[in-house]
Amino acid sequence: MSEILTPDTILRERYRVIELVGQGGMGAVYQAEDTRLDGRICAIKEVIPNLSTSKQYQEQIQAAFHQEASILARLDHPNLPKVSDFFVSDGRDYLVMDFVPGQDLRELIENARHKNSFIDEKEVLTWAKQLMDALEYLHQQNPPILHRDIKPSNIKLTPNGVIKLVDFGLVKLLVPEDNKTISVLQGQATIQYAPLEQIGGDSGHTDNRSDIYSAGATLYHLLTNTPPPDAKTRYIRGKNQPTLTIKDINKTVSTQTEQAILHALELHPEDRPNNIQQFNQELLAVPPLTERQIISNSWKIVFLHNRILLILILFFLAIALFVTLLG
């Protein structure tokens, strides 16, 4: 495990470490104060190089890190933290971004589970819409950017109800010319949310449909309080694997939502939605009305728009009936 920076450590003669926020095998994330901008609190991600690799490889990774950090710094989206700086200190790479307050969605899942309840589907779909917007924005960059580590703990809900996709730990830059990818901040995605093509290392074959799988797994977890079975286990079990379902766990989930998420969780990329826009449409679009609903709604519209006329007609019919009875 790497040495942790202590509080009050100053990085780049600017950032004062306040506390450790999170730690993993590749480094750590700190909350820090920007001493040049009074009152600004930021998050600093520390990436420690793999010392078992050659010096040449480490230099390549560092150069790629600078390329990726420069691209991330140009991103500007309400559901992504703003990257403001990057630098190297004592052989470690650092990425500086907005510090996002609030709970992550994993905490909200745990709260619901302890209460023996589920997060309301409408609320989950509100978050899903924001997540889709962020992913669509990333995938439309030039070159496209893949996140590759979407999961509830990497999504924060701010006090004003906006979600932020906070961790860029496995971002990849697609290079269209040779259909390969540049991956800088190396590591493995959490297996329950990783598609089959991403498990087992950086094969270079992941694309936007990999993020779609991870988004689907995240929504599955939010609606059921449990992550889906991992893709590798599902693949190995094959036909012996029980049919994946959401409504058997949470009966309140709509069929449309379940079908959209299960489509995103298909094992083979070609069986999933082709892009975030398609997944968004399947998940959030209003389903087409049936013929009976159309007729029913038409009568409702007629009544609402002509209720005064209908009342008058009924009034005169009542008078006519009354006169007829008197006669």
List strand residue ranges (DSSP E) for the chain, in order. Answer: 10-11, 15-24, 27-34, 41-47, 83-89, 92-98, 103-104, 145-146, 155-157, 163-165, 172-175, 180-183
Check 34, 93, 149, 207 and give the catalytic one. Answer: 149
- Say whether the peptide bond before residue 143 is cis (omega within 30 degrees of 0): yes
Parallel, antiparallel or unpaired: strands 155-157 and 92-98:
unpaired
Verify whether residue 167 is a known catalytic residue: no
Please report, as a single letter, which amino acid is at residue 78: P
> In the structure encoding, which two tokens stand for residue 34, read together?
């920007």
- The span from the CA of 31 to the CA of 22, in Å, is 9
Cα–Cα distances in angstroms (integers) from residue 149 to residues 121, 166, 218, 237, 285, in the given order: 23, 10, 10, 24, 26
CA 43 and chain centroid, separation: 19
Q: Which residue has the tokens 């089959």?
A: 196
Q: What is the dihedral of CA 268, 271, 277, 281, to 10 degrees?
A: -130
- The span from the CA of 133 to the CA of 155, in Å, is 13
- The span from the CA of 73 to the CA of 90, in Å, is 22
β-sheet bridge partners, residue 30: 20, 44
φ, ψ of residue 189 in degrees (nearest 5)? -70, 155
Q: Which residues participate in catalysis according to the annotation?
A: 149
